[in-house]
Structure 1
Amino acid sequence: MAVRASDVSRIPGRRAGPAPLPDTPPGKPMVSWFDPAVLAKSGLKALLSGTFGRQADRRLLDAVARPQPLAFDYSVDDTGHPRDELWLDYVSDLGDGWDSTYAVASAVMAPQLALTDGSGATHVTRGGDVLVFGGDEVYPTASVAEYQSRTVVPYEEALNRRRHRPHLFAVPGNHDWYDGLVSFTRLFCQGRRSEGWRTQQRRSYFALRLPHGWWLLGTDMQLESDLDAPQVEFFQKVAGQMRGTDRVILCNAEPAWIKQQVTPRAGRGFLDNNIDFLEQRVLGKKVSVFLAGDLHHYRRHEDADGRQKIVAGGGGAFLHPTHLPKVDQRPGGFVQKASYPPQRTSRRLTWRNLAFTALNPWFGAFMGVVYTLLGWGVAANLNEGAVGAPSFREVINAALQSTGSLVLGAGVVLGTVAFADDRRGPLWRKTAGIMHGLAHLAVALLLTWGVSAVAAPLAAELQWSIRRDLFSGLLLLGGGALVGPLVVGVYLLLSLNVFSCHPNEAFSSLSIPDWKNFLRLHFDTEGHLTVYPVGFRRVPRRWKRGRSPEEPVWVPDPADTRATPPRLIEPPIVIGRTKALPVKPETGPPGPTDMMVDEHPPGGAV
C-alpha cells in the first residue's frame, strides 16, 4: 500500500523535518494598564504583597539562608591581573512590550555600538562586560511566565551568541516584589544561566568592585522604600573595604530626589532618610553618581562638584512625562541638565489622551457597561407610554426617581474621588474627584436623553417593550463605550497639562513604546567614568529574521522607515574620581580590554 506523504512522520525510525521558523517575534504587546482585568490583577497582587511584605520580609530570611560574597570583584580579570578598563550597561524598567524591550536589548547586546551625538560626532562603544538591571524587570506583575516572555526571551534572542554573555546583577523594584520576590529570586539569585546572561548575586542587593577605585552598590528598598538592618550591616562592611579616594555609584530602584516631590504627602520622607544614612553615615559622601529608574524617562541633575543624579528608566516600559514634576533644581545644589523626551514634547504627547477610547478598548467596554447601568432604568421609565422625545427635565426627574441609578451614580462619584490625585492635598482630591464623577453623570444623562429620543419614534414599531428596552440598552452600551473613556481622557489631559496632576495615569493610558533609553558606562585606563546616555526616538514596529551569525535573531524590517537608530541623548558625561571633567568625545574605537568568557567569570568574590 502506498504511503501518503503526511504519514511519513509516523513511520518508526523516520523523524519529521524541523518545524518552520515563525515569521514574527514571539513577544507580547505593551501592557494595557486601563484594561479592567490588568487593573484588578495588579491591584490584588499589590495589596497582597504589601500586606505579607510588612509581616514577613524576605530580605531578612535571605540574609540568613543565602550567604553572599561581600563584593564581586571586577577590578581584576579572570587571571587576577588588574583591569585597565571596563564597560558596564545599566537598563531599568524593562520587560514590557516586545518592540520597546527588544529594541533596547538588541542595542545592549551588540558587540559594538556607534552612537552619534547632537553635534554629529560619532562615539564607538562596546557591549558591557557587566549588565545591571536597575529595577522593575517585568510588567505588569512578577511571575515566572511573565519574566520568561517579557524579559528573558528578548535578551536571549538579542544576544544570539554574537558576543560573550555579560554578568548580570539586578536591583528589584516594586513590580518585582508583587509576588513577594519569589520569581525574582529564582531568576536572578540562584546562579541560573540564560542564553542572554550569567547571574552572580545570591541576595537582592549587592556590591561590585570596579577598576580604579570605583564601586557600584545595588540596594533593595522593598515596597516600603526601607533598608533592612542586615542590608545596612552588609553595606557597612563593604564601606570598610573602601579606600579614602574610592568613589561609589549608588543604584536605587526609585529616585528619591524626585519622588519626594512627586508624592510629598504620601509619607515618603523616610526614603530620603534611608539614602542619606547610606550615603553620609555608611559611605561617607563617597557617592559620585546616583542611578535610578521607576520613572520611565531620562533626566540628569548635576551639582557644582560634578556629582550626578540620573534617572534612566527607559528599558521598555511605557513612557512617563518629563514636564512633571518640575524639578529643575533639587536640594544640595543639583540642577537639571537634560531630559528625554524634551518637556515641550512631553506636554504635546499628553494630548493623545483625546484618543483614550481607541487606545484602551477594554476600558471602553467597561465604561459602556457602567453607562448602560446608569441609564437603562431611566430610559425604560421614559419609554413607558412615550409618544415623543422626552425633554431633558423629564430625563433628570426619571433619574432622580430611579433608586438604582442614584446608588450607582453615588458609586461612580466615590470611585472618581478615590482615583483622583492627592498631590495637591485632600481638598483638591475631593474637588477634582467630584467634578470628574459629575462629568460622567452629566454625560450619561445626555446620552440617555439622546437614546430615549431615538427610541421614541420607534416605540410604535417595536411593539414589545422588551425589544424597545433592549434596543435602548444596546445604544447606551455603544455610546457609553465611546464617550465614557473620552471623559476620562479629557480629565487626564487637563489634570496633567493644566493642574500638574496624574502624571502616571495620564501616560500609562497611552502605552507609548518610544523615547526609550539606557546607560553605557566606561571606566577608562585613567580612572575616569564616562556615561553614554543612549536614546531611542522611535523603536521599530516591524521585525524580520536576521540572516547572518553577526545579527540577532530579529532585526528591524527596512520597510519600517519611521524607526530610528539609537543615538546619544546628550554628549557623554565624563566624571573624574573627585570632580566631573570637561567632555572629551571619544571618536575612535575602544581600546583593548580583558574580555570575559562564559567558562570563567571575569572577576572573583572578595
Structure 2
Amino acid sequence: MASGTETLTAPPGAPAAPPQRPQGRKMVRWFDPFVLLKAGVRSTISKTIGEQADRRLLDALVAPKVEPSDFSVDEAGRPREELWFDYVADLGDGWDSTYAVAQTVSRPTLTLTDETGTAYETHKGEVLVFGGDEVYPEASVKEYQERTVRPWQAAMRGQGPAPHLFAIPGNHDWYDGLVSFMRLFCQGRQPAGWRTHQRRSYFAVKLPHGWWLLGTDMQLASDLDEPQVQYFQELAKQMKEEDRLILCLAEPAWLVGQVRPPGERTYLDNNLDFLEQQVLGKKVSVFLTGDIHHYRRHANAEGRQKIIAGGGGAFLHPTHVPRKEAALPDGFTARKTFPAPEESRRLCWRNLGFLGHNPSFGVFTGLLYLLLAWMQVADLREGGTVAWKLSRVLGAALVNPGVLLLAVMLVLGMMGLADGRFGRGRWVAGLVHGVAHLAASLFVFWGAFALTGALLPLGSVPQELLGAVLVFAGGFLLGPTLMGVYLLISLNGFGAHANEAFSSLTIPDWKNFLRLRIDREGRLWLYPIGLRRVPRAWKRGETVREPEWVADDKDATPPELIEPPIVIGAARSTAPRVAGRSSPEYAGPAAP
C-alpha cells in the first residue's frame, strides 16, 4: 500500500543511477551582445506599442467588475482570525537562485534565526504575491515556462496545497505587450498548481482585520490608465476609514529618484502621489516593491514602511548606492539593507574578472579590435624605435577613413553608455573610456605585428594569419578587462553604473523575500528572509513528500531573518517565538 513517504529511489540490488542535475536555465548574461540587442529591440517595440495601444484598456473591458478577492473569510464564510502570505519579486532568472527561493517559500514551516540568535517559527503563506518581473530577459510563453513555472513546480512538490497566486507585471513582463503575462496569471489557469484569481494586470485582496493588499500596474513607467484609476476608486468606497493598506508597486519611486540623474522626475513619482492621495484617500501603511534586486527598508516615526524586496532570483543589485541618501518625504529613513553596503562594495571588485563572467563580450571586443587592425595600413617593416613604430600605426589610423569612422562610432557609443549619474562629467567619462579602447586596440595591433614579424617572414600568409589570431586574442582579453575596470571605478568611485556593474557579475546569492502574517489581534508581522549563498548542486528528492530537487551543496547557507520581524499594529503582544531573547521591531499603530 502506497504511503506519503513512498521512496523514489531504485529497488535494492539495482545498479546505481548516474547523478542527475536539474535541466534549468543559467542566469541571463546581460553583456552577451545578442541578449542586449534582442532585449533592446523588444523593449523599444513594446514601448511603442504600449504608447499606441494600451493592453490594460482592453482587459478592463473584458473584466469590468470590481470585485476584490476576499481572504478575510474562510471557505465556509467564517471570519479568519489570522492569515500568512508571502511576497516574492524579481524571479524567473537562473535555476539555482530562482529554485532556492521557491523551495524556501514552499516549505510548510520555517524556523528562522535573526542576527541576534533569536528564532521564530513561520508558516507557508496561503497567498503568494509575485511583485513584478516574473521572467528575464523578456516575456514569452517558453521563458515563463522554463525560468518561472518549472522551478516553482519542482519546488512545491509534496509541500502541501499550492497557494493562491496574485501577480503584478514589471517592465520585462511588458516586453511582449503583456500577452504572456495575461495568459499565465489572468485567465483562471493553474500554472504549477497555483490557484489564480485576477482578471486584470492589477488586483485587490481583502485580508482579515481590515487589511487590504493592492497590486498596481504602471506599464513601462507610464501613467495610470483610466480604468485602473476607476478600479481603485471603486475599491476605496468599499473600505472603512480605519482600514489599512499594503500597496505593491512595480518600482520603488522613493529610491529610483535618487539613483537616476538629478532633475528627472518620472511618471511613476506622480502616479504614486496620485494613487495614494487622490484615489485611495488614505495613507498606505506598507509599500512593497521589487525592481531593485536587493533588500532595503525605510520607515518613519509613524511606523509606515517602504520595503524593497527584489531578491526572488534575479542578479544582485548593489546596496552601497546612493552613497548618501537624500532625505525622503514624511520622515522616512533607511533602516536595513541586505547585503550590507561594505559587502556590496567588496563584491563590485569582481568586475576585475569581467571576462570570466561575460566570455561572449570578449568575443565581441576581440572581433572589434581585429576589425580596427584589419582596416589599418601601416608599413612597419623598416627599422626604428618602439615609439617610432607606434607613431606609424597611429598615423596610418588617422588617415584611414574606415578606421576614423569606426573609432568615432566607438567613442560616441561609450559616451552614450556613460551613466547620467556622472552629471556634467558624463561625456568626459565616456570619452576616456572610448579612447582607452582605441589605444588598447592600437597597442594590440602593433604588439601582434612586432611579435609575428620577429618569428615569420613579413607579409607572408602565416605571419598575417598568426597576427590576426593574436589581435583577436588581445581584444578578447583586454577589451572586457577595460570594461570591468571602468565599471568598478564608476560605481565605487562615483556611484554610477549601479545596474551595469552588478548585472555584469550575475551574482545568484543574497536572495530575499518577505513572509507576512496578520495575527489574531489584527497586527501585521513582516519577516524579511534572506539566503546569503544559494546552492549550486542538487540531488533528486528521495520521497514524494520532498521537493523534486534538494540541495547537495555544503557551502550553501540556510535561510535566515535579515532583521527581527517588523510589527504594525495597535498593541504589543508576545511574538510567536521559539527561542531567544530579543524583541521584534515594533512599528506602532498603523497609519489611519
Cα deviation 1:421-479 (Å, max 9, x = unaligned) = 11343x3221111111011111112212211210221342x6x5333222211111011
The answer for the alignment partner of 1:569 in structure 2 is: 562
Cα deviation 1:483-528 (Å, max 9, x = unaligned) = 0000000000000000110000000000000000000000000000
Asked if 2 retains the 8 angstrom alpha-carbon contact of 1:157 and 1:196, the reply is no
Q: Whole-Å Cα distance in 2 between the matches of residues 479 and 442 of structure 1?
A: 12
How many Å apart are 1:588 and its aligned residue? Answer: 4.1
Cα deviation 1:549-599 (Å, max 9, x = unaligned) = 221000001xx221001100000000115xxx669542149xxxxxxxxxx
Structure 2 SS opposite 1:391: helix
Asked if 1 retains the 8 angstrom alpha-carbon contact of 2:66 and 2:231, the reply is no
The answer for the alignment partner of 1:333 in structure 2 is: 331
Match of 2:577 among 563, 571, 587: 587
The answer for the alignment partner of 1:157 in structure 2 is: 154
The answer for the alignment partner of 2:485 in structure 1 is: 490
1:550 aligns with 2:570: no
The answer for the alignment partner of 1:598 in structure 2 is: none
Match of 2:284 among 283, 287, 295: 287
The answer for the alignment partner of 2:398 in structure 1 is: 400
The answer for the alignment partner of 1:509 in structure 2 is: 504
Asked if 2 retains the 8 angstrom alpha-carbon contact of 1:572 and 1:585, the reply is no
How many Å apart are 1:280 and its aligned residue? Answer: 1.2
Asked if 2 retains the 8 angstrom alpha-carbon contact of 1:318 and 1:508, the reply is yes
Cα deviation 1:180-232 (Å, max 9, x = unaligned) = 00000000000001334111110000100000000000000000332111101
**Alignment of structure 1 residues 269-418 onto 2, 5 Å:** 269-325=266-322, 326-327=324-325, 329-378=327-376, 381-383=378-380, 391-418=389-416
The answer for the alignment partner of 2:534 in structure 1 is: 539
Q: Whole-Å Cα distance in 2 between the matches of residues 70 and 333 of structure 1?
A: 35
1:179 aligns with 2:206: no
Asked if 2 retains the 8 angstrom alpha-carbon contact of 1:383 and 1:455, the reply is no
Cα deviation 1:134-190 (Å, max 9, x = unaligned) = 000000000000000000011111000321110000010000000000000000000
Q: Whole-Å Cα distance in 1 between the matches of residues 263 and 180 of structure 2?
A: 28
Q: Whole-Å Cα distance in 2 between the matches of residues 88 and 21 of structure 1?
A: 39
1:48 aligns with 2:41: no
1:205 aligns with 2:195: no
Structure 2 SS opposite 1:498: helix
1:439 aligns with 2:436: yes
Which amino acid in 2 is paired with 1:244?
A: E
Q: Whole-Å Cα distance in 2 between the matches of residues 522 and 382 of structure 1?
A: 75
Q: Whole-Å Cα distance in 1 between the matches of residues 224 and 497 of structure 2?
A: 28
Q: Whole-Å Cα distance in 2 between the matches of residues 207 and 337 of structure 1?
A: 28
How many Å apart are 1:299 and its aligned residue? Answer: 0.2
TM-score in terms of structure 2 length:
0.92
Which amino acid in 1 is paired with 2:124?
A: G
How many Å apart are 1:387 and its aligned residue? Answer: 9.0
Q: Whole-Å Cα distance in 2 between the matches of residues 220 and 51 of structure 1?
A: 17
Asked if 2 retains the 8 angstrom alpha-carbon contact of 1:167 and 1:197, the reply is yes
How many Å apart are 1:400 and its aligned residue? Answer: 1.6
Q: Whole-Å Cα distance in 2 between the matches of residues 485 and 68 of structure 1?
A: 54
Asked if 1 retains the 8 angstrom alpha-carbon contact of 2:84 and 2:124, the reply is yes
How many Å apart are 1:67 and its aligned residue? Answer: 3.4
Asked if 2 retains the 8 angstrom alpha-carbon contact of 1:114 and 1:122, the reply is yes
Which amino acid in 2 is paired with 1:586?
A: P
Q: Whole-Å Cα distance in 1 between the matches of residues 89 and 572 of structure 2?
A: 27
Cα deviation 1:34-56 (Å, max 9, x = unaligned) = 00110011000000000111000
Asked if 2 retains the 8 angstrom alpha-carbon contact of 1:155 and 1:196, the reply is no
Q: Whole-Å Cα distance in 1 between the matches of residues 392 and 488 of structure 2?
A: 33
**Alignment of structure 1 residues 29-108 onto 2, 5 Å:** 29-108=26-105
Structure 2 SS opposite 1:136: coil
Q: Closer, same or farther in 2 for the Cα pair 1:386/1:377, shift >3 Å? A: farther
Query: Where does the alignment leave 5 or more consecutive residues of structure 1 unmatched?
Result: 1-19, 590-606
The answer for the alignment partner of 1:467 in structure 2 is: 462
Deviates more, 1:158-167 or 1:538-547: 158-167
Q: Whole-Å Cα distance in 1 between the matches of residues 151 and 30 of structure 2?
A: 21
* CA RMSD across the alignment: 1.8
The answer for the alignment partner of 1:16 in structure 2 is: none
How many Å apart are 1:121 and its aligned residue? Answer: 1.4
How many Å apart are 1:68 and its aligned residue? Answer: 4.4
Asked if 1 retains the 8 angstrom alpha-carbon contact of 2:380 and 2:389, the reply is no
Structure 2 SS opposite 1:287: coil
Q: Whole-Å Cα distance in 2 between the matches of residues 486 and 391 of structure 1?
A: 25
Cα deviation 1:244-274 (Å, max 9, x = unaligned) = 1100000001001011112145743432221
Q: Closer, same or farther in 2 for the Cα pair 1:180/1:433, shift >3 Å? A: same
Asked if 1 retains the 8 angstrom alpha-carbon contact of 2:211 and 2:246, the reply is yes
Q: Whole-Å Cα distance in 2 between the matches of residues 494 and 117 of structure 1?
A: 34
The answer for the alignment partner of 2:139 in structure 1 is: 142
Asked if 1 retains the 8 angstrom alpha-carbon contact of 2:91 and 2:314, the reply is yes
Structure 1 SS opposite 2:421: coil
Which amino acid in 2 is paired with 1:569?
A: I
Structure 1 SS opposite 2:375: helix
Q: Whole-Å Cα distance in 2 between the matches of residues 26 and 225 of structure 1?
A: 37
Which amino acid in 2 is paired with 1:132?
A: V
Which amino acid in 2 is paired with 1:398?
A: A
Q: Whole-Å Cα distance in 2 between the matches of residues 263 and 214 of structure 1?
A: 33
How many Å apart are 1:405 and its aligned residue? Answer: 1.5
Q: Whole-Å Cα distance in 2 between the matches of residues 189 and 419 of structure 1?
A: 37
The answer for the alignment partner of 2:215 in structure 1 is: 218
Deviates more, 1:274-283 or 1:81-90: 274-283
Asked if 1 retains the 8 angstrom alpha-carbon contact of 2:251 and 2:290, the reply is yes
The answer for the alignment partner of 1:599 in structure 2 is: none
Asked if 1 retains the 8 angstrom alpha-carbon contact of 2:19 and 2:539, the reply is no
Which amino acid in 2 is paired with 1:475?
A: L
Structure 2 SS opposite 1:563: coil
The answer for the alignment partner of 1:600 in structure 2 is: none
Structure 2 SS opposite 1:418: helix
Asked if 2 retains the 8 angstrom alpha-carbon contact of 1:521 and 1:531, the reply is yes
Q: Closer, same or farther in 2 for the Cα pair 1:79/1:35, shift >3 Å? A: same
Q: Closer, same or farther in 2 for the Cα pair 1:142/1:253, shift >3 Å? A: same
Q: Closer, same or farther in 2 for the Cα pair 1:583/1:37, shift >3 Å? A: farther
The answer for the alignment partner of 1:530 in structure 2 is: 525
The answer for the alignment partner of 2:21 in structure 1 is: 24
Structure 1 SS opposite 2:117: coil
Asked if 2 retains the 8 angstrom alpha-carbon contact of 1:386 and 1:456, the reply is no
Q: Closer, same or farther in 2 for the Cα pair 1:266/1:157, shift >3 Å? A: farther
Q: Whole-Å Cα distance in 1 between the matches of residues 132 and 315 of structure 2?
A: 14
Match of 1:428 among 420, 425, 428: 425
Q: Closer, same or farther in 2 for the Cα pair 1:583/1:44, shift >3 Å? A: farther
Q: Closer, same or farther in 2 for the Cα pair 1:401/1:467, shift >3 Å? A: farther
How many Å apart are 1:65 and its aligned residue? Answer: 1.6
Which amino acid in 2 is paired with 1:449?
A: W
Which amino acid in 2 is paired with 1:343?
A: P
Asked if 1 retains the 8 angstrom alpha-carbon contact of 2:210 and 2:243, the reply is yes
Asked if 1 retains the 8 angstrom alpha-carbon contact of 2:74 and 2:80, the reply is yes
Structure 2 SS opposite 1:510: coil
How many Å apart are 1:384 and its aligned residue? Answer: 5.5
